[in-house]
Chain A
Amino acid sequence: MSETSSSPQRMEDFVQMSALLTGFAAGTIAPSLDPVDLKSTLFAAAEKGAGDAFDRLLDQYAQLAGGKPVSQMTPAERQSIGESLLGLDGQPSDPQTTATARSVMRLLYLGYWYPIDGSAGAETVVSDQAYVRGLAWRAMQSHAMGFSTWSYGYWASPPPPLTDFTGNPAPAPPADAAAEVPAGTAAASLPAEAAAASTLGQGKGGQSPADLVGGR
């Protein structure tokens, strides 16, 4: 599109911002030896989908990061930049760029582009490679449904450690401890909320199974 779109610096900003928002290493998102070149596909999809808002988001990220790679940032720096990009820091924010940041996260995680205006049912799969390389599957230490990277019987043994999938060291405890509920306690603490959710969310909950994956 614009000249900025093809600039190596712009791409580098995109990869670094993606690393910060997704929690995956930049080298996982854009390997140094990259026969698929997914980053270019994703960049183009975000640019096409969000236009100027994507440009502004990259500008904002470049300014906040000041050229520092995510891998060299402190957890507090990452937290601060992420909250700014997503409009979680209580400061005035541009709803278009914060929505774009969320769409970029889902783009990386799922390979889908979700329109930033939030229109339902308008999401599209960016490419076959974008789908099979979605980070959501790596976050669960598995592979995209329809794209096994292992051979017969792997499912009878536990997967390799999470750090192998993220390319990052094991995460430090979250800045806000509530962000990560230890396994088990979630179940114990949920009944009231879950009951409320099941009332409030009846529409969504009922529709999502069929609408997203369908019965069989």
Chain B
Amino acid sequence: MNGKRYDVVIVGAGIAGSLVARELARRGKSVLILEAGPETPPTNRETYLENFYLAAAKTPESPYPPLEGSRPSAEPAPRATVADTFGSNVEPGWPEKVQSDPDAFIYDPVKSYLLQKGPHPFASTYERVAGGTTWHWLGTSLRFLDNDFKMRSVYGVERDWPWGVDELLPYYNAAESSIGVAADAATQERELGEIGLRYAPPGYQYPMQPILTSLVDEAVTGGIGGATGFVGFEGLGVEVTPTPQGRNSQPYANRRVCAGNTNCIPICPIQAKYDATVTLSEAKQAGAELLSQAVATRVVVGENGAVAGIEYLRWQRDGSGTIERTPGTAVGTLYVLAAHAIETPKLLLMSRRDDQGALGHGVANSSDQVGRNLMDHPLYLSWALFDDKAWGYRGPLSTAGVESLRDGAFRSQRAAWRVEIGNEGWNFSIGDPWTTVGDFVLGTNASQLNPDTRTLFGDALVAKLNDVFPRQWRMGFLVEQTPEPGNRVTLSTDLPGGAAFTDGLGLPRPVIHYDLSDYTKLGFVYAEIFARDVYRRMGLRCYTQNPKEIVGRGGALVANPTWFPLAPEWRQVFASLPPELKAPEVTNLPAAADGIPEGFQYFGAGHVVGTTVIGSDRASSVLDPAQRSWDHPNLFMVGSGNFPTITTANPTLTLAAMALMAADQIAKQLG
């Protein structure tokens, strides 16, 4: 920029990029951040919050630009959205078309930024604005467990990390301070120390006292807290553990205390929940410069193999909405890519030069691993009605979970998970209160709560809604997904019709190949059985649905892209269950099904992981243990793309810790 040479050039102003920028700026380094999306004034969330209030579909992306209805081909910084995955974007016969036509995708490419080749869709999304996806993260700040770092050596599956939890512990502490995490370490250690949760030094305390748990948590704790004997978890007990959360339980960092707006996703109205604009502001106060609306287009590699600059397009819209673009090159001593796990590999792949030998696969890609091992937590939702009012729809979206089953010998066979206990009734599950209100006003039964399809009004309507809403509850199982080389990000320009699938700057769009492994799918089987047992023990009525078909484009029924069938060899797992775990009350299946489900539906957890994994072997990883490219000594990457495995924990705290770790390394390398 203006010929200035920076110590560090960073691509991406989300949490990872902002943390690195802040750390280096505070150590006196000159820092430039390129951000693809618009900048927001510090803490001013009026516009985004108004977008949320006025959005008909209150999706995670609904507050943020570009707004729903815009076309990815016309946007300078489009991104994946939940709205992309609506049934109305799915054509009948899509499974065959996606296979036979190289330019066919699961979701209509006119609406969906990601070009999804399947066989199943990647269901998670991210933002391209200053502050990044933390604008709508939940705030869950779990540490990884001891064995999460050594799945290959302990369980013979997945990958090992090049280092273990001990190396990360000091950075976990620093990340918890940067974010502002509320929890009680003694409680966490008491309930989860046995499965490998670690703190150091002894007596470590979180920055804030724990967030008060909800009445829903209390009811669940009363039902299953301390229980044992769950199918597939022999020898393990269930604890309902208050979740360490990046939201204020007391005034912290000049931000307010959580007021329970029950809206962490899509947007906390009062910034009681941390988001990366907090760190970005600190970085700017320390002197880091932010160039917003600057989309990195190429990592330029010099003759010596070192990165020599990052080309970008600065964009503006003129009065008529036309995009004006101005090219530039940012030059620094070191470079850090922090554009999240889909845009970072896209940039590396876009930077390839066929005439440059080693760069034929793209920058930093001598291993051919860039873009591979894309992961998420495929989310299994299970929902039910309490007998008594448990008072959901109040407090933060989630304040506790079942963490005690996140590790065990079973991980040699199948995926582990954690259970997020929802405080928002069936909002996520079926779109309530909209769906149920619609049912009782229109006389329909989309919610399954109006089987007689009655229309109610007046006192009867109030009484009915007051009866059902406070009894609604859901669990979300975050199932660990295996790293698979075939789950990958490639470029639209490699497709036969590639030129048709570019963004508003004429840049390629990500093509996604994605599937779930049997190891991961088997995790769903035991999630379903666990849910049934919870309902049985607590006397709840299950309402979970796993629809094989959904309403697609034009109102036709189409195959549900996020549904997968139960493998025949797993039928026996269900068939052998005791009768009380096959009853319609706990399965929501017809009695004739004998408790055997046809298949499962998954959701995205918003956890975009893998694609630039670290490792101890340059042939099978993109980055070395210091999160530096094996190929280019002055190129670092930060973010959840670096994870070799996803584990069962929400990724933000760990990626923040790793970004702080990388900042130390970068500072050292700068000297």
Write the residues of chain A forming the contact surface with B, with a CB cutoff of 8 angstroms: 20-24, 75, 78-79, 82, 86, 88, 102, 105-106, 109-110, 112, 121, 123-125, 127-128, 131-132, 136-137, 139-143, 145-148, 150-159, 162, 166, 168, 171-172, 174-176, 178-184, 186-188, 190-199, 201-216
Contact = CB atoms under 8 A, between A and B. Distances in A.
Contacts of B228: none
Interface stretch (B199-207, B334-342, B458-466, B518-526): B458-466
Contacts of A196: 451
Interface residues of B, number: 112
A216 B260 CA distance: 18
Nearest to A70: B458
- The 6 A-B pairs with the shortest beta carbon distances in the complex, nearest first, are A212-B431, A155-B395, A206-B547, A187-B541, A214-B82, A193-B451
A22 B438 contact: no
Contact of B59 (A156, A176, A179, A213): A213
A102 B540 CA distance: 32
Contacts of A174: 459-460, 463
Nearest to B427: A213
A215 B569 CA distance: 30
Interface of B: 49-50, 52-61, 82-83, 85-88, 123-124, 136, 138, 212-215, 218, 249, 257-263, 265, 267, 269, 379, 381, 385, 387-389, 391, 393-396, 399, 423-425, 427-431, 433-435, 437-438, 441-442, 445-446, 448-449, 451-452, 454-471, 540-541, 543, 545, 547-551, 557, 560, 563, 584-585, 588-591, 601, 603-606
5 contacts: A23-B461, A106-B441, A179-B454, A191-B585, A206-B549
Contacts of B138: 216
Given A148-B259, A156-B213, A171-B459, A121 B88 contact: yes
Contacts of A82: 457-458
Contact of A207 (B424, B442, B551, B603): B551
Contacts of A190: 448, 451, 541
A173 B479 CA distance: 45
B394 A142 contact: yes
A79 B461 CA distance: 12
B387 A187 contact: yes
Contact of B466 (A105, A140, A156, A201): A140
A188 to B, nearest CB: 8
A112 B265 CA distance: 20
B550 A202 contact: yes
B394 A155 contact: yes
Contacts of A24: 462
A215 B459 contact: no
Nearest to A155: B395
A78 B212 CA distance: 43
Contact of A194 (B54, B60, B381, B451): B451
